[in-house]
Amino acid sequence: MITIAVAGNPNSGKSTLVNAIAGTRLHVGNWPGVTVEKKEAIFEYDGKKIMLVDLPGTYSLSPYTQEEIIARDYLVHETPDVIINVVDSTNLERNLYLTVQLLELGIPVVIALNIYDEAKKKGHRIDIKSMEEALGVKVVTTVATERTGLNHLLTAVLKVAGNSSRYYSKQLDYGEDLESVARVMERKIKQNYNFLAEKYPLRWLTFKLLEGDTHILEKINGDRNGLCFDEVVQHLRKTYGDDIESIMANVRYAKAAETTHRVLSKPEIRKIELTEKIDAVILNRFLGVPIFLALMWFVFKFTFDVSTPFVDWIDAVISGPLKRWAMVILGMIHAPAWTTSLVTDGVIAGVGFVIMFVPVIFTIMFFITFLEGSGYMARAAFVMDRAMRAIGLHGKSFIPMVLGFGCNVPAICATRILENQKDKVLTALLIPLMSCGARLPIYVLFVGTFFSENSGTVLWSLYVMGIVLAIVMGIVFKRTIFKGEPSVFIMELPPYRMPSFKNLMIYTWERGKHFLVKAGTYILLVSIMVWLLLNLPWGVEHKKDSYLGKTGQVIARVFKPLGFGSWEVASSLITGVIAKEIVVGTMGEIYIEKKMVETTEQKTLLHDLKECGISFTIAVKDSVTNVFSTFWMKSISIGGDKKLTPLRTVIQETFTPLSAYAFLSFVLLYMPCIVASIAMRNEFGTWKWVGVSFVYQIALGWIVAFAIYQGGKLLGIGIG
């Protein structure tokens, strides 16, 4: 099997090229031990079996970012048969800097000169023959979005793999000074550290040791001087007047510039492109932020407008006919009552909860993918960079945080757009402070009960509180756990492009599937556990005596200083860990116990069984009738629902306006839901940061609620 590694800069069209070649055969996972996506595909071409490995997009092979380390380690340790180097034809010089480094590895390279159609439209002329001669590699022009040039590319790859000397016979010359030093070092490496020479490409190893690469120096216990490099290093420093790493970077850039100048010709009069005209407005210092916020609002609104009808329909089917049919079937086979309850309230409800999230996840991932592919996300990062640096982050971090107002789960998944691991973790820790839509039913219930005259102001204050505390905690984290120099923010503004529909679908599916498969499994298990806690020990008559009720009684003591120290409230907060909406459901179940007449229920179920088709049609018809109802209206209607009147009455007896606001503040801040926690664990491959989020959010929620309640009592004021 021929192994092909695909390497290239971000925005070079590398992912589009890989998708065009591999399509649905592309398998997406994570590189071992890290969250950076690993993409592989195995297929046959011209009778040969090929493994395609898509490396993370990177500008260089220096060990600074996670992506660079992964790409470099794979190429050095796995040694693929051929490297396809995807080069953006419209940005030749910058892309060739990576090409020069790839050639140092001694692995056969084939250049895919991608986005060639745009280069031609701009009037760029690239001399392919001269480029092949200058670099000693095979060059093939491609347009990945139109799937042109792919057969020529794969044919060239097979030829190179079969006879690498045909296309790879030239070693780039970095100048006599540097080359003479390299020859001296190569001899000393072979003499003193031959085991390294056998393990790594010799020329690449020489330059890495010369640069003082920390990852390589670890292999020789950090002793570069043991190789007697002092003389040659000092010679280079005197000659160039700079440190070795800068010298090497300058030499590589010079080689990339020299090659570009040799092969590329541009029209003398440059036209002002559409991208520049749009950026004049989008990146305006006064209009940039309002435009960005407006666009994010539209993304947020469209996500719920598009997904809510599907969510409502799925909810109607699962909670209606599907649940009743299961009860009927289990009743016909005389299944025990506990089995029926487990299947309907545990399994069906658990799986249904995950499926209800799917439309939101896929819709929001579609919009994120579209914005990334269009080139706008880079502009958004640029616009918000200055504001985000106030809390130790940069512009890109703001995008996942904004998405957190819709749902924290896709927002945490969206941290993948950040390059730096610390930035990803810090952003993920702050996202749960953004008030997601799942908290709205609780807000509406309590605000409608206690603050009906000032409902808008109170609801707005909760959202503002989350934003302010996110800023505060960002500063705290950056000065404690994530203390250190701010991360380097390298940003490229690619031209605006219309992403292909196929790529949008592929990436939306891959990102959504991650949640559906992984989180769905955990949700099912947790739902069953909650059911058990509410129904154990067997035969328990009052929920207060169940394991969950007893746990609530113990935990209630912690909440007493906050003004809501009853076991009912504590138990509801425990189940709210699964999803914040469940807080209202648990309160209703605990406070108002309803008993159904068994015979009436059986008659209803038998009728459903006989006319299941009609029941299903009615359920679907009802869903379609309300298909345009929005998430917001659905949430607001909860407060005025007559069915909740008894619950609101009990809540009024349990809470005061002051304790109610303290409770809402705690709900806003206390630990992320289980789905968000699982998403965080899946993103970072460890429960460590979930634990940090759990501890700091509970502590923050308790402190804020305590300050509100006790401060209000001390001042003798109430809210409402």
- The string of pLDDT tens digits covering residues 33-62 is 555 667 888 998 988 999 999 998 888 888
Record the tokens describing residue 711, joined without a space: 């401060």
Query: Which pLDDT value is given to residue 24?
Result: 63
Assess whether 457 and 406 both reside in one domain. Answer: yes
Question: Which tens digit of pLDDT belongs to each residue from 669-688?
Answer: 988 887 788 888 888 878 89
Q: Residue 547 pLDDT > 90, yes or no?
A: no
Report the largest interatomic distance among the alpha carbons of the chain, rounded to a whole angstrom. 96
CATH number at residue 220: 1.10.287.1770
Assess whether 407 and 426 both reside in one domain. Answer: yes
Question: Which tens digit of pLDDT belongs to each residue from 358-396?
Answer: 776 687 778 877 887 787 877 777 777 776 777 777 777
Question: Which tens digit of pLDDT belongs to each residue from 575-605?
Answer: 788 777 777 766 766 665 433 333 344 444 4
- pLDDT band with cut points at 50, 70 and 90 for residue 478: confident
Phi and psi dihedrals of 452, rounded to 5?
Answer: -60, -30
Is residue 99 assigned to a domain?
yes
List, in order, residues 6 or more apart from 204 with CB less than 8 Å away.
76, 104, 105, 106
Assess whether 305 and 237 both reside in one domain. Answer: no
Rounded CA-CA distance 384/399 in Å is 9
Q: Which residue has the higher pLDDT, 414 or 264?
A: 264
- pLDDT band with cut points at 50, 70 and 90 for residue 230: low
Query: Which pLDDT value is given to residue 622?
Result: 40
Element at 509 (helix H, strand E):
helix 501-514
List, in order, residues 6 or more apart from 615 with CB less than 8 Å away.
320, 321, 324, 608
- pLDDT band with cut points at 50, 70 and 90 for residue 527: low
Q: Residue 720 pLDDT > 70, yes or no?
A: no
Rounded CA-CA distance 129/360 in Å is 50
Assess whether 75 and 7 both reside in one domain. Answer: yes
Task: Give the C-alpha distances (Å, rounded to integers) separating 696 from 138, 229, 561, 669.
Answer: 55, 50, 19, 10
List, in order, residues 6 or more apart from 161 with CB less than 8 Å away.
2, 4, 81, 82, 108
Q: Which residue has the higher pLDDT, 326 or 616?
A: 326
DSSP codes of every residue in 221-288: TT-SGGGT-HHHHHHHHHHHSS-HHHHHHHHHHHHHHHHHHHHEE--SSPPPPHHHHHHHHHT-TTTH
The DSSP bridge partners found for residue 43 are 50
Mean pLDDT of 280-285: 80
Record the tokens describing residue 103, joined without a space: 């050639």
Task: Give the C-alpha distances (Å, rounded to integers) separating 426 from 398, 432, 515, 598.
Answer: 12, 11, 21, 53
Rounded CA-CA distance 506/504 in Å is 6
Half-sphere exposure of 203 (CA within 13 A, CB side): 15
Domain boundary among 167, 196, 213: 167
Assess whether 120 and 191 both reside in one domain. Answer: no
Q: Which residue has the higher pLDDT, 606 or 423?
A: 423
Bridge pairing between strands 125-126 and 264-265: antiparallel
Question: Which tens digit of pLDDT belongs to each residue from 699-711?
Answer: 999 999 999 999 9
Is residue 349 assigned to a domain?
yes
In whole numbers, what is the pLDDT of the chain averaged over residues? 77
Q: Is 541 exposed, middle or buried (0-12, 13-18, 19+ CB in 10 A)?
A: exposed
Rounded CA-CA distance 59/68 in Å is 8
Is residue 271 assigned to a domain?
no
Domain boundary among 136, 167, 198: 167
Apex CA 195: angle with CA 189 and CA 198, to 5°? Answer: 90
Assess whether 148 and 180 both reside in one domain. Answer: no
- pLDDT band with cut points at 50, 70 and 90 for residue 485: low
Assess whether 118 and 226 both reside in one domain. Answer: no
Is residue 280 assigned to a domain?
no
In three-state secondary structure terms, 296 is: helix
- Is there a contact between 219 and 212 (Cβ–Cβ < 8 Å)? no
Query: Which pLDDT value is given to residue 53?
Result: 92
Q: Which residue has the higher pLDDT, 160 or 419?
A: 160
Assess whether 602 and 546 both reside in one domain. Answer: yes
List, in order, residues 6 or more apart from 230 with CB less than 8 Å away.
none
Bridge pairing between strands 109-114 and 82-88: parallel
Q: What is the dihedral of CA 665, 670, 676, 682, to 10 degrees?
A: 150
Record the tokens describing residue 197, joined without a space: 């020479």
Is residue 58 assigned to a domain?
yes
Record the tokens describing residue 524, joined without a space: 């099912």
Mean pLDDT of 180-186: 84
- pLDDT band with cut points at 50, 70 and 90 for residue 619: very low
Query: Which pLDDT value is given to residue 613?
Result: 38
Provide the residue range defining the domain that includes 107. Answer: 2-167
- Give the range among 117-121, 340-344, 365-369 with minimum mean pLDDT: 340-344
Rounded CA-CA distance 73/67 in Å is 10
Torsion region of 212: left, alpha or beta (phi above 0 gives left; psi -120 to 50 gives alpha): left
Q: Is 616 exposed, middle or buried (0-12, 13-18, 19+ CB in 10 A)?
A: middle
- pLDDT band with cut points at 50, 70 and 90 for residue 294: confident
CATH number at residue 94: 3.40.50.300
Domain boundary among 121, 136, 167: 167
Q: Measuring CA to CA, which residue among 3, 214, 13, 268 is closest to residue 117?
A: 13
Assess whether 148 and 238 both reside in one domain. Answer: no
Mean pLDDT of 271-300: 77
SS3 content of the chain, % helix, strand, coil (to 5): 70, 5, 25
Residue type, 290: P
How many domains is the chain partitioned into structurally?
3
Is residue 66 assigned to a domain?
yes
Assess whether 323 and 410 both reside in one domain. Answer: yes
Is residue 284 assigned to a domain?
no
- Is there a contact between 391 and 561 (Cβ–Cβ < 8 Å)? no
Mean pLDDT of 251-266: 93
Question: Which tens digit of pLDDT belongs to each residue from 631-675?
Answer: 333 333 333 343 444 567 778 888 889 999 999 999 999 888 877
Is residue 279 assigned to a domain?
no
Rounded CA-CA distance 404/290 in Å is 19
Chain-centre distance for alpha carbon 311: 22
Torsion region of 661: left, alpha or beta (phi above 0 gives left; psi -120 to 50 gives alpha): alpha
Q: Is 249 exposed, middle or buried (0-12, 13-18, 19+ CB in 10 A)?
A: middle
Assess whether 141 and 207 both reside in one domain. Answer: no
Assess whether 145 and 230 both reside in one domain. Answer: no
- pLDDT band with cut points at 50, 70 and 90 for residue 300: low
Q: What is the dihedral of CA 472, 475, 481, 487, to 10 degrees?
A: 140
Phi and psi dihedrals of 335, rounded to 5?
Answer: -70, 145
Rounded CA-CA distance 402/435 in Å is 10
Residue that the structure tokens 């929920």 belong to = 543
- Is there a contact between 368 and 403 (Cβ–Cβ < 8 Å)? yes
**DSSP alpha helix (H) spans, 274-403:** 274-282, 288-317, 323-332, 337-341, 349-374, 376-388, 398-403
Query: Which pLDDT value is given to residue 519?
Result: 52
In three-state secondary structure terms, 622 is: helix
This model's pTM is above 0.75: no
